[in-house]
Chains A and B, each alone.
Chain A
Amino acid sequence: MGKKRAVITGLGIVAPNGIGLEPFWEANTGGRSGIGTITRFDASDYDFRIAGEVREFNPSRYMPAATVKRTDAFVHYGVAAARMALDDSGLDLSVEDRASIGVILGSGLGGIAFHEEQMIAAYDKGVRRINPLSVPRVSPNAVAGHIAIQFGLWGPNVVISAACASGTLAVGEAFRKIQSGELEACLCGGVEAPLTRFTYGSYAALGVMSRRNDAPQEASRPFDKERDGFVMAEGGAMLVVEELGRAVRRSAHIYAEIAGYAAGSGAYHMVMPQPDGKDAARVMWGAIRDSGLRPEDIGYINAHGTSTSVNDLVETLAIKEVFGERAHRVPISSTKSMIGHTIGAAGAIEALVTAMVLDRGIIPPTINYRCKDPNCDLDYVPNESRCARVEAALSNSFGFGSCNACLVLTKERV
């Protein structure tokens, strides 16, 4: 029996520059940054004080107030995005086979804010003061559990932790489960709420973050010659992915088809990519081959594009390796230029953006692109969005721990 096909029929998002699909898309195509000075915690003693914070977000709109109090922000973002994606898809869960719908998310860190709070309580006040709900609150899979409980989904319930590639792996694994016939539909995506004193400080200590405290909105500048690191951010995105035939039968709007996926490891270093980009290229190749397409069919690349000196250079090399001379003619943009790096959510947010590029025919820009880097000489769609009918697109994620994952999305091919 041939493989089944998987399409994206619902999208939901909570991001620093927009909550909900349309506000987010408007901000992205308009090149609006969601980055600012940190308000979430006191960062006055840090050298780095900027982040992509989700603002004016009320989790009680999406989940019971009592659950809000017992859960961390990463769960709030996940449940909210799942609610939006389900509503957008038009799936009527009251008539669906709930056992055939799974929940797969990526999260690099889980409930790290509450974890920190409880560590302090345990050391300062004694172990009796550890909150009895600490375990279900800090566990990374809490977000998948809460989504399943809230919507009554009985299928596989999984959180994948693969650093900055987590969200991409979650969407890819959901795609595989639909291809194989194991699932009819899957809520998949990624979440992260890393803006805490310890976590922010840990990434700062690694020396990978931008120091542009005086110009937060200009700090994330992927592929620009003067890039000086990424900007940490929070948020979440969820996609409803379902088997093509059922989506067509219920006349669902199809944003895009997931046509290819590959994941792999550079087996190289915990925080550095392989300098020649061969590992990244191998996974990009893998996803394109999996889709049955060729590199020349790809009309847009949503880059990992973190704004670190090394990533953007190596990703450029990898794109050249895969696309050859044509690398200069494929539009490439970085969503992180506007929202920063949402770690485990990034791949899901970028899969959502890639689906929207195919659906709407607009490529959002890489903002803050001012100064050309001779080593990054491709078409990064600088500063202004572009109208383009794209038939197939690639979304890249390259994470710490040498974990890489790529997706190929296409317009639904009839």
Chain B
Amino acid sequence: MTYEDVRRTIAEITAEKLEKDVANIPPDARLREDLGVDSLTAVEIVWEIEEKFGMELPRELETSVRTVKDLVDFVAGKVAAGAANAST
């Protein structure tokens, strides 16, 4: 899975939960301030990411990431780590 795959999937999940067009989810957008992600929507987004990527994310992620890119970087890092573990 490429970084672009992760970015696109997360943008799609975020767009769906916010009822926005995926084009309106730019990487530099701040989840809370710019996109209006509230605490429940954040829980839903994280849950959906866990479901799609088959991974577990830390619960504090909902409050620790600021922008869409922060979230994508974190998940991409986990994906890369998982792939590295799988290949060793």
Q: List 17 A-B contacts (CB under 8 A).
A: A64-B19, A65-B19, A66-B16, A66-B17, A66-B19, A69-B16, A128-B50, A128-B56, A129-B50, A129-B51, A131-B47, A132-B40, A132-B43, A132-B44, A132-B47, A133-B40, A133-B44
1/0 contact trace for A50-78 toward B, CB 8 Å? Answer: 00000000000000111001000000000
Which residues 46-85 of B sit at the A interface, judged by CB distance below 8 A?
A: 47, 50-51, 56
**Who on chain B is nearest to A69 by CB?**
B16
B59 to chain A, nearest CB (A): 10
On chain A, the residues within 8 Å of B44 by CB distance are 132-133
Interface of A is mostly: helix
CA A131 to CA B40, docked complex, whole Å? 11
On chain A, the residues within 8 Å of B47 by CB distance are 131-132
A132 to chain B, nearest CB (A): 4
On chain A, the residues within 8 Å of B19 by CB distance are 64-66
On chain B, the residues within 8 Å of A132 by CB distance are 40, 43-44, 47
Nearest 9 pairs between A and B by C-beta?
Answer: A132-B43, A66-B19, A132-B47, A132-B44, A128-B56, A131-B47, A133-B44, A64-B19, A132-B40
Q: A128-B56, A131-B47, A132-B43 are in contact. List 14 more A-B contacts (CB 8 A).
A: A64-B19, A65-B19, A66-B16, A66-B17, A66-B19, A69-B16, A128-B50, A129-B50, A129-B51, A132-B40, A132-B44, A132-B47, A133-B40, A133-B44
Interface set of A (CB-CB < 8 Å, partner B): 64-66, 69, 128-129, 131-133
1/0 contact trace for B10-32 toward A, CB 8 Å? Answer: 00000011010000000000000
Total A-B pairs, Cβ < 8 A: 17
A10 to chain B, nearest CB (A): 29
On chain A, the residues within 8 Å of B16 by CB distance are 66, 69
On chain A, the residues within 8 Å of B56 by CB distance are 128
**Who on chain B is nearest to A128 by CB?**
B56
CA A66 to CA B19, docked complex, whole Å? 6
On chain B, the residues within 8 Å of A129 by CB distance are 50-51
CA A133 to CA B16, docked complex, whole Å? 15
CA A64 to CA B19, docked complex, whole Å? 9
CA A133 to CA B51, docked complex, whole Å? 14
CA A196 to CA B51, docked complex, whole Å? 23
CA A132 to CA B19, docked complex, whole Å? 18
B39 to chain A, nearest CB (A): 10
CA A69 to CA B17, docked complex, whole Å? 10
**Who on chain B is nearest to A67 by CB?**
B19
CA A67 to CA B50, docked complex, whole Å? 21
**Who on chain B is nearest to A136 by CB?**
B40
**Who on chain A is nearest to B50 by CB?**
A128
B70 to chain A, nearest CB (A): 21
CA A129 to CA B51, docked complex, whole Å? 8
**Who on chain B is nearest to A64 by CB?**
B19
CA A64 to CA B20, docked complex, whole Å? 12
A134 to chain B, nearest CB (A): 10
CA A129 to CA B19, docked complex, whole Å? 23
B68 to chain A, nearest CB (A): 19
Q: Which of A65, A129, A131, A132 is the most central at the interface, judged by chain B CB atoms within 10 Å of its CB? A: A132
A188 to chain B, nearest CB (A): 29
**Who on chain A is nearest to B47 by CB?**
A132
B51 to chain A, nearest CB (A): 7
B21 to chain A, nearest CB (A): 13
